[in-house]
Chains A and B, each alone.
Chain A
Amino acid sequence: MDANSYIHISNLDLVIALLFIAISAAVSRWQRLGLERDMAVGTVRAFAQLLAVGFVLQQLFNVPRWHWVILALAIMTTVAAYNAVKRQTGAKHGLFAVMAAAIATGASITLILVIGIVLRVRPWYQPQYVIPIAGMVIGNCMTGAALVVNRLHSELTLRRNQVEAALALGAPAKEAASEAMRESLRAAMMPTINSMMTVGLVHLPGMMTGQMISGASPVDAVRYQIVVMLMIAAATAVTAMVAVFGALRAFFTPFHQLSARLELGEAWDAYVRKKSKH
């Protein structure tokens, strides 16, 4: 079997794969988990979403144009930012811009380095490389941004007394929150570092397995994976940094006061909406 002739999945194969969902459904029914409906919806959504994305990507791959690639990256970043905001346990108001800026910064810096310098993709916008790599980077940036802001919220709530003691002595918000920021950054970067520890031993990353199935040699696939892992570590660090400083502006007032949004949680969003109406 040469590199380009991996086994293709036909429509019939896809239908057969539906058997798997039948197995989960059977378990759900047997144990009365009541998940059958969600499973059906999930299956339909997965089919529809993936087929649509597959179709769009196919067009992109057939006729590679730099502006379509940029548009795809912009959409990915927007969806990622939206999801990072959705994952916040506290108030969400004003965080979308923070998440979008953080993810865009972290992802673009590392993407430029990888596409331009490490892989030297020519022309740079070849979707075959840019899209999957960007997908992995942006996905990890999203997790990092969501984690760091959630953690900053809980650290500031937990350390309220300490933070206010520092503010009361004349510390600016950034200084008073420095301990909380450090903890949050640590929390956001740990998952990436942990996965670097166990990669290959416990799990084989999706990209690596994908490359091997499509015929790449394991040694080549591993090289890609190393680049990707290091790239993700860098992207997460940059994203978390930008997000934590951005979120600081949401959690403090311009007068170095802790914002009431910390106590009010989700009710804050309703409060801000009501205020802006008046």
Chain B
Amino acid sequence: MNAIELSHVSTAKPVLLGDSLTELEVMRDVSLSVPEGEILALIGPSGSGKSTLLRMINRMEDPTSGRIFLFGSDIANLDVKELRRRVGMVSQTPALLPGDVADNIAYGPNLRGEPCNPGDYLEHVGLERELLRRPASALSVGQQQRMCIARALANHPDVLLLDEPTSALDRTASRNIVELILRLNEKLGLTVIIVTHVMEHAQALATRVAMLVGGSLIEQGPAVDFFESPATETGRKFLRGELAEDGR
């Protein structure tokens, strides 16, 4: 079964160009599916719509046309809060909620009045239980990012969306996050969609790859195939690092 499926998704956003307001097409007719338990790497030059695509899956934004399905149900018909519980999201830079580490991790379950043992999730992401009572802001950035992953896990999600989760981290911390994602995918069967600029990470993680350029889907398929021989000239150029932001 497909955990996530996008069907002909397009979106335009109002943007300010100087003084005048124009609607900019950010995504054009994207259809894409992610089978349950797989890791999809979303790649492409910056400004190609990768983050927008992620944000549409948990309805932080809505497409102007097209439909998105979570395990076969149209997300427009799901309760937004329940959708977001099932689809966890971790942003580029760790976004801390007020309080200590335990408060952060238990935030989701607390909203619904469910019990939560924050220490367990801390262990899941390889952090010590002693950190529970520390203010979240006292952790290193790498630890904070792990905490954000633990926070998403405490909601028992089916899908995890990661928006360049390593871009604020050094090499060691990045490698640890990559290993953590692999472990969670294996242990929990989590479906993962990760936006990344680091091809090394995409290669280490992904079972599938989707490449966006200028809001259009250029390639999608098994990761092995893509990294061995991309189907398009644009894909080859991108892997060689020769693709400019506008896709030429």
Contact = CB atoms under 8 A, between A and B. Distances in A.
Nearest to A253: B62
Contact of A175 (B14, B89, B111): B111
A164 B13 contact: no
A62 interface: no
B155 interface: yes
Contact of A167 (B14, B62, B84, B98): B84
A161 B94 CA distance: 9
Given A169-B108, A260-B14, A264-B16, A164 B95 contact: yes
Given A162-B96, A162-B97, A264-B14, A167 B60 contact: yes
Contacts, number: 71
Q: In the complex, which range does the number of interface residues on chain B fall in?
A: 20 to 34
B239 to A, nearest CB: 31
Contacts of A164: 60, 91, 95
Interface string A236-268: 000000000000000000011110100010011
Given A257-B62, A264-B14, A171 B21 contact: no
A268 B15 CA distance: 10
A166 B96 contact: no
Contact of A170 (B21, B60, B81, B98): B81
B81 A162 contact: no
Q: In the complex, which range does the number of interface residues on chain A fall in?
A: 20 to 34
B80 interface: yes
A36 interface: no
Interface pairs A-B: 3 shortest CB-CB: A165-B95, A161-B95, A169-B108
Given A161-B91, A162-B95, 14 more contacts: A162-B97, A164-B91, A165-B91, A165-B96, A167-B84, A168-B60, A179-B98, A256-B80, A257-B61, A260-B13, A270-B21, A271-B14, A271-B21, A274-B21
Interface of A: 161-162, 164-172, 175, 179, 255-258, 260, 264, 267-268, 270-271, 274
Interface of B: 13-14, 16, 21, 58-62, 80-82, 84-85, 88-89, 91, 93, 95-98, 107-108, 111-112, 148, 151-152, 155
